[in-house]
Amino acid sequence: MSTDTPAPAASQSDKYLAVQRSDEFAGLRRALRGFVFPMTVAFFLWYALYVILSAYARDFMGTKLFGSNINVALVFGLLQFVSTFLIAWLYSRYADRKIDPVADRIRAEIGEVTHENGPRG
Amino acid sequence: MRTVHAADMLLAAEAGNHTARNLTITLFLVFVAVTLAITIWASRQTKTATDFYAGGRSFSGFQNGMAIGGDYMSAASFLGIAGIIALYGYDGFLYSIGFLVAWLVALLLVAELLRNSGRYTMADVLAFRMRQRPVRTAAAVSTITVSIFYLLAQMVGAGALVALLLGIKPGTTFLGMDAATAKVATIIMVGALMIIYVTVGGMKGTTYVQIVKAFLLMSGALLMTVLVLAKYNFNLSELLGAAAASSGKGDRLLEPGLRYGVEVAGNATQTFYNKMDLLSLGIALVLGTAGLPHILIRFYTVPTAKAARKSVLWAIGIIGTFYLLTLALGFGAAALVGGEAITAQDKAGNTAAPQLAEALGLEFFGGELGGAALLAIIAAVAFATILAVVAGLTLASSSSLAHDFYANVLKKGETSERQEVRVARISALVIGAISILLSIYAQNLNVAFLVALAFAVAASGNLPAILYSLFWRRFNTSGAVWAIYGGLLSAVLLVFFSPVVSGAATSMFPDHDWQWFPLSNPGILSIPFGFLCGWLGTIVSKEHDEEKYAELEVRALTGSGAH
């Protein structure tokens, strides 16, 4: 955009390529993917289990607990809330400690960049 | 347990009708006046394209979290889920769990990376390392389709609600309008207001409208929940027992299976389809949220990826709390209003929450006047809810039309910022006008399924394209285009040939029958199909830009060069 100052495009994309191939960046990528991929699989399977039980294990889900009107289905549903809040909190803690410091360091190393080489967003 | 029976309700309604109606309208006008004032204020702060599309990226994580809640918690989640819980019990809860868990996809895989690498629209990320024109065209088509489906469901819903919420009965009039005229007037009014919010206030105005709405909705739901729980001595089991007893469904109300995955005795095939339909709905709800364009553009309104993360954390807290409250509202309505009285007002149960408000007001705030007052408050909150959501949808589709289609496809990036924002404002007007006309045409059709369809399209077309873009080195233009069109078309076509459109009494066109696809929800097929298309489209093309991928990945993960 109008506020961008022109820069030699080649040097900038070389810079990004070099960063992407650096060990430090590989570590950042590993730290991020190592958390978010397994966690996504985990919560998706946990949710799928809940939906499948709701569809196919009606008797089990209807079992009443503690001699009250609270049944397994309700507790299972509430546990989905608990797990969602828990995963969100775990991720935020993990990102604060393991991702943000590395990302900030790499960004500082790259320094000022212009958008001439980016999309005309 | 004392149940407010239909007859009592009717008596109270007759006496309190006038008071409630006047109060509803007064409160609603106050909301409109306040939000219009905010919109005009916001328009003075809106100078650049970044101001118009992204609210100047000046919102805090908490503000954006509230706005996300306001953008996401539609009338379908408030009135709809409370109604489903009231009538079908547990199955409504299942719906809200899908809506909540979905936020983990946005938090873990999408929000921060999108914030770092995009600028104004979903297509900024999709087209980053691709050929601009085909990808942006596909993204604009998908964004506008999803948003218009969603808009239609909200606007037709608003029209259907007005007669119920204002108590306009057959044969009576309000300001000289009968129920049918009031319906059309409401659709036009909702459409006109959303156009004003977006064209005048841009993202800043829309965001504040959503924040105010989220605050009102949470306060209203919280107040009603406390009253419901107080009525049952803060004992959940007692509430559930009373709900089961008054619902007419007994303990079945507390178990899955009254609405979704219904077991049809003696018909194993239909039972199988019903259960597949439940799984299909569940998958689309969880995977759809992170592909909804009006949600995605909210991540651009904060200054950094860290703030985007904070806003999703707040949103998860707010939305999760809200869905827990709807559990109490739904079962509270079943217990205190009763299944019979709810279906007497609206077969789909959309008036369960307002009816519960009236019953609670009667009980706790001194009889009829209290009942009328609480009913009016909740009815006004429901209208505020609809307005905030439709404004977000209009903004998302007009941004995409102006930024993706006009500026980058038609003008190939050669246009001024001023001109682009002018086109965005005109687009909002055009999309708003089209939505009003379509809604008036569809006002008597059953279009409630359009919300689920919007989620299915978002999960089948947009999400594969976004995830491949961010995480798959090899992904290219052809893959992105195939994923978006493949997912979009398969979801829309399957639904077109499903029982929600034709061939059943509850269909959009009940008098026609071209149905052959047995499920109402296409996700279980269309989502894998969308991912498959993205993969296949990628491997049949040799195109690959290693340098641009390096730039995208480094920028997405580190925030270097973020707008």
Write the pLDDT tens digit of every residue in B467-507: 999 999 999 999 999 999 999 999 999 999 999 888 888 88
**A114 conformational bin, left if phi > 0, alpha if psi -120 to 50, beta if neither:** beta
As a three-state string, the secondary structure of B146-208 is HHHHHHHHHHHHHHHHHHHHCCCCCCCCECCECHHHHHHHHHHHHHHHHHHHHHHHHHHHHHH
This prediction has a pTM of 0.91
H runs (alpha helix) in B264-414: 268-288, 293-296, 305-336, 339-345, 352-364, 367-399
CB of A117 within 8 Å of a chain B CB? The answer is: yes
B99: nearest CA in chain A? Answer: A81
- B280, pLDDT greater than 80: yes
Return the exposure string of B101-128: e unless at least 16 CB atoms fall within 10 Å of the residue's CB, then b: bbbbbbbbbbbbbbbbbbbbbbbbbbbb
First to last CA, chain A: 8
Distance CA B65, CA B58 (A): 13
Name residue A48's amino acid: A
- In degrees rounded to 5, what are phi and psi of residue B502? -150, 165
Q: pLDDT-based confidence at B258, cuts 50/70/90?
A: confident
CB of B561 within 8 Å of a chain A CB? The answer is: yes
Architecture of domain B6-558: Up-down Bundle (1.20)
Q: What is the dihedral of CA B164, B170, B172, B176, to 10 degrees?
A: 80
Which residues in chain B have their CB less than 8 angstroms from residue A50's CB?
97
Whole-number pLDDT of residue B259:
83
> Which residues 318-337 on chain B approach chain A with CB closer than 8 angstroms?
320, 323-324
CA B200 to chain CA centroid, Å, is: 23
> Which residues 266-295 on chain B approach chain A with CB closer than 8 angstroms?
275, 278-279, 282-283, 286
- Least Cα distance to B65 among B225, B221, B215 occurs for B215
CB of A75 within 8 Å of a chain B CB? The answer is: no
Return the exposure string of A5-41: e unless at least 16 CB atoms fall within 10 Å of the residue's CB, then b: eeeeeeebbebbbebbeeeebeebbebbeebbeebbe
Distance CA B433, CA B194 (A): 10
B557:A25 CB<8 A: yes
Are B139 and B126 in contact, with CB atoms under 8 Å apart?
A: yes
The CA-CA-CA angle for residues A85, A86, A89, to 5°, reads 85
Q: Is the ipTM of this complex over 0.85?
A: yes
- Least Cα distance to B308 among B118, B111, B121 occurs for B111
Residue A21: both structure tokens together: 């191939």
Return the exposure string of B170-191: e unless at least 16 CB atoms fall within 10 Å of the residue's CB, then b: eeeebeebebeebbbebbbbbb
- B446, pLDDT greater than 80: no
- Least Cα distance to B524 among B275, B292, B291, B289 occurs for B275
CB of B511 within 8 Å of a chain A CB? The answer is: no
Considering CB atoms only, which of B100, B105, B550 is closest to A17?
B550
Distance CA B142, CA B136 (A): 10
Burial zone of B424 (CB within 10 Å; 0-12 exposed, 13-18 middle, 19+ buried): buried
Are B109 and B292 in contact, with CB atoms under 8 Å apart?
A: no
Q: Which of the two residues, B124 and A111, has the higher pLDDT score?
A: B124
A81: nearest CA in chain B? Answer: B320
CB of A8 within 8 Å of a chain B CB? The answer is: no
A38: nearest CA in chain B? Answer: B108
Which residues in chain B have their CB less than 8 angstroms from residue A107's CB?
558-560
The CA-CA-CA angle for residues B456, B73, B463, to 5°, reads 30
Whole-number pLDDT of residue B156:
87
- B130, pLDDT greater than 90: yes
Q: How far is CA B523 from CA B280, B287, B288, B460, in A?
A: 5, 9, 9, 7
Whole-number pLDDT of residue B266:
84
Which of the residue ranges A74-78, B28-32, B293-297 would you say has the lowest mean pLDDT?
A: B28-32
Which residues in chain A have their CB less than 8 angstroms from residue B109's CB?
36, 40
Determine the distance in angstroms separating the CA of A89 from the nearest CA of chain B, rounded to an integer: 8
CB of B93 within 8 Å of a chain A CB? The answer is: yes
Whole-number pLDDT of residue B287:
96
Q: pLDDT-based confidence at A115, cuts 50/70/90?
A: low
B554:A110 CB<8 A: yes
Q: What is the CA radius of gyration of chain B?
A: 23
Question: Mean pLDDT across the stretch A59-73?
Answer: 86
B557:A28 CB<8 A: yes
Question: Mean pLDDT across the stretch A78-99?
Answer: 96
Q: pLDDT-based confidence at A5, cuts 50/70/90?
A: very low
Distance CA B413, CA B124 (A): 12
Distance CA B327, CA B243 (A): 11
Whole-number pLDDT of residue B293:
96
Distance CA B30, CA B390 (A): 19
Return the exposure string of B331-368: e unless at least 16 CB atoms fall within 10 Å of the residue's CB, then b: bbbbbbbbbebbbebbebbbbbbbbbbbbbbbbbeeeb
> Which residues 403-442 on chain B approach chain A with CB closer than 8 angstroms?
407-408, 413, 417
Are B479 and B460 in contact, with CB atoms under 8 Å apart?
A: no
Question: Mean pLDDT across the stretch B325-343?
Answer: 92
Task: Provide the mean pLDDT of chain A.
Answer: 86
Which residues in chain B have their CB less than 8 angstroms from residue A13's CB?
547-548, 550-551
- Least Cα distance to B428 among B403, B453, B462 occurs for B403
Whole-number pLDDT of residue B362:
87
Q: How far is CA B292 from CA B279, B314, B324, B456, B508, in A?
A: 20, 18, 23, 10, 24
CB of A1 within 8 Å of a chain B CB? The answer is: yes
Neighbouring-strand partners of residue B509: B502
B273: nearest CA in chain A? Answer: A55
Angle at which helix B61-72 crosses helix B179-231, to 10 degrees, equals 120
Q: pLDDT-based confidence at B17, cuts 50/70/90?
A: low
Sorted by where each begins, the domain ranges of chain A are: 9-110
Q: pLDDT-based confidence at A10, cuts 50/70/90?
A: low
Are B370 and B361 in contact, with CB atoms under 8 Å apart?
A: yes
- A117, pLDDT greater than 50: no
Q: Which of the two residues, B449 and A119, has the higher pLDDT score?
A: B449
Whole-number pLDDT of residue B2:
44
Task: Provide the mean pLDDT of chain B.
Answer: 90
Sorted by where each begins, the domain ranges of chain B are: 6-558
Tokens 């999703």, residue located: B312
Considering CB atoms only, which of A51, A103, A110 is closest to B282?
A51
Question: Mean pLDDT across the stretch B165-194?
Answer: 82
- A3, pLDDT greater than 50: no
Residue B537: both structure tokens together: 């489209």
Half-sphere exposure in the Cβ direction for B487 (13 Å, CA):
41
Are B456 and B522 in contact, with CB atoms under 8 Å apart?
A: yes
Q: How many residues does chain B have?
A: 563
Which residues in chain A have their CB less than 8 angstroms from residue B251's CB?
62, 69
Name residue B196's amino acid: I
Question: Mean pLDDT across the stretch B30-47?
Answer: 92
Question: Mean pLDDT across the stretch B148-154?
Answer: 91
Are B452 and B446 in contact, with CB atoms under 8 Å apart?
A: no
Whole-number pLDDT of residue A121:
44
- B88, pLDDT greater than 80: yes
Q: How many interchain CB pairs under 8 A, A with B? A: 179
> Which residues 44-63 on chain A approach chain B with CB closer than 8 angstroms?
44, 47-48, 50-52, 54-56, 58, 61-62
Whole-number pLDDT of residue B14:
52
**Cβ atoms within 10 Å, residue B203:** 29
Question: Mean pLDDT across the stretch B553-561?
Answer: 93
- B425, pLDDT greater than 70: yes
- Which run of H or of E encompasses B535? helix B523-539
Beta strands per DSSP E along B216-284? none
Distance CA B365, CA B491 (A): 48
- A4, pLDDT greater than 90: no
Write the pLDDT tens digit of every residue in B343-400: 888 888 888 898 999 899 988 887 778 888 888 888 888 888 899 999 999 999 999 9
- In degrees rounded to 5, what are phi and psi of residue A71? -115, 175
Q: How far is CA B319 from CA B77, B89, B194, in A?
A: 10, 20, 23
Which residues in chain A have their CB less than 8 angstroms from residue B549's CB?
20
B560:A48 CB<8 A: no
- By three-state DSSP, how is residue B64 classified? helix
CB of A70 within 8 Å of a chain B CB? The answer is: yes
Q: Which of the two residues, A40 and B443, has the higher pLDDT score?
A: A40
Q: How far is CA A88 from CA A43, B13, B135, in A?
A: 11, 44, 32
